[in-house]
Amino acid sequence: MKFSELDLNEELLEAISYMGFEEATPIQEQAIPEILNGKDLLACAQTGTGKTAAFLLPILNLLHKRNDHQIKALIIVPTRELAIQIDQQIQGLGYFVSVESLAIYGGGDGPEFDQQKTALTRGTDIIVATPGKLISHLNLGYVKFSQVQHLILDEADRMLDMGFYEDIQKIISYLPKKRQNLMFSATMPPKIGQLAKKILHNPIEISLSLSKPAEGVLQAAYLTYDNQKSPLIIELIKGKDEYKSILIFSSTKKKVSEIVQALHRSGCQVAGISSDLEQDQREEVLGKFKAKQTRVLVATDVLSRGIDIKNINLVINYDVPNDAEDYVHRVGRTARADTTGVALTLVNEDDMYKFSRIEKLIEREVMKIPLPADLGKGPEWSLSGGRSKSRHKGRRGQGRKKSSRNRGKRRSHSGSRRNR
């Protein structure tokens, strides 16, 4: 379906055309009419399917030409990167409409806080906020939410994974009872259904391609020992001009630094991004990667959801994510919007069972590629070995002493969510 068939105003259609879009994606085709009709919505669609525009376009359409600039729409997101991205998309899609927005997130300085306070008191049409920072403002007592007509929870499953359930409930308590509620999620675990029952009223439910990587992703895996991983990555990308934009995921901040150092020594144009960086540093790193000034970006899972970086040719999972769902989000950074891409995962002997759970989730066996001969032989595929060794996640080989395994256990805790 073309956007021109979706009953959007001419100014929005002009902006969409200017950005080079003509055909609506399935989630946009199904969600936009329901939102325009004022329905509550529970939408589940994998990353990269265009769900951000699926709620932004109808909200911009509904708010167009309302010039009081009171806060009419509140969008809650899990991370500051996603808040910034959605705010930028509002500016792009709303270029020809009279709608203002502001992103509210932590990590800023005094002037940023004052700007946020001004928007929350004097008003701006759309607020995009992370839960923690928004609650900081709410606790100070000056936030004016009496005119909010639309509440959007984006990446709702991610927010619940990050422990924001109580924060979301607190924010909702400040909003008018009568409003439109929209929940967008990449997965649909039971706790999403529980939250939906509390805040949605007779919602329209949309579910598309639940927990499956896009068809355009060529998936493969290498069975490797840990000491083979960095040499393998270097061999995979060095001199391969077809991979102009490469994203490497690691589960911990420490490994991000190690990977960046190894690639830098090999002459690769590489940068790393994690929660260790200040906000302005993260924006600078992301900006250079988007502008193709940096070829390789190494990141924790902070980038696995919601960040729209176009034309990523290759995604490499340096390690297997602990949650099978996170694999889908990591892989979803490539082959976006009907393009194609390659996703490679490096699987050590401890992670084989975890990777088998990923294959079960996506309902397909991922091709295993032999290591290049000069790197030597990797471990043999063994689900029983992976299951037993998953209890000792830090162990790197056989014949280690017990004390080494214990140190490995302590290292494995660094992969928890607080380090992403």
Region of residue 77 (phi > 0: left; psi between -120 and 50: alpha; otherwise: beta): beta
| pTM of the complete model | 0.66
The pLDDT confidence band at residue 239, using thresholds 50, 70 and 90, is confident
**Residues 96, 97, 98, 103, CA torsion sign:** negative
pLDDT tens-place string over residues 175-219 = 999 999 999 987 778 888 899 999 999 999 998 855 566 666 889
Q: With contact defined as beta carbons under 8 Å apart, do 316 and 246 qualify?
A: yes
pLDDT at 385 over 60: no
The mean pLDDT value for 118-125 works out to 93
The pLDDT assigned to 150 comes to 98
pLDDT at 88 over 80: yes
CATH numbers and ranges of domains, the chain: 3-208 (3.40.50.300), 217-393 (3.40.50.300)
The pLDDT confidence band at residue 403, using thresholds 50, 70 and 90, is very low
The mean pLDDT value for 39-63 works out to 89
Residue with tokens 């359409």: 61
Q: How far apart are CA 349 and CA 341, in angstroms?
A: 26
pLDDT at 337 over 70: no
The mean pLDDT value for 207-236 works out to 85
The pLDDT confidence band at residue 251, using thresholds 50, 70 and 90, is confident
Q: Are strands 341-347 and 126-129 parallel, antiparallel or unpaired?
A: unpaired
pLDDT at 323 over 60: yes
The pLDDT confidence band at residue 415, using thresholds 50, 70 and 90, is very low
Q: How far apart are CA 79 and CA 299, in angstroms?
A: 14
324 or 150, greater pLDDT: 150
Distances (CA, A) of 396 to 103, 387, 392, 405: 43, 15, 9, 9
The pLDDT assigned to 33 comes to 97
Q: How far apart are CA 371 and CA 373, in angstroms?
A: 6
Percentage of residues in the chain having pLDDT higher than 90: 54
The mean pLDDT value for 218-242 works out to 92
**Strand ranges across the sheet with 246-249:** 270-273, 296-299, 246-249, 314-317, 341-347, 217-223, 367-369
The pLDDT confidence band at residue 409, using thresholds 50, 70 and 90, is very low
pLDDT at 136 over 90: yes
Stretch among 40-44, 300-304, 308-312, 386-390 having the lowest mean pLDDT: 386-390
The pLDDT assigned to 303 comes to 63
Question: DSSP alpha helices (H): ranges in 218-300?
Answer: 226-237, 253-265, 279-290
Q: Mean pLDDT: which of 261-275, 327-341, 379-393 is highest?
A: 261-275
The mean pLDDT value for 258-284 works out to 87
Q: How far apart are CA 63 and CA 110, in angstroms?
A: 30
Q: How far apart are CA 236 and CA 170, in angstroms?
A: 48
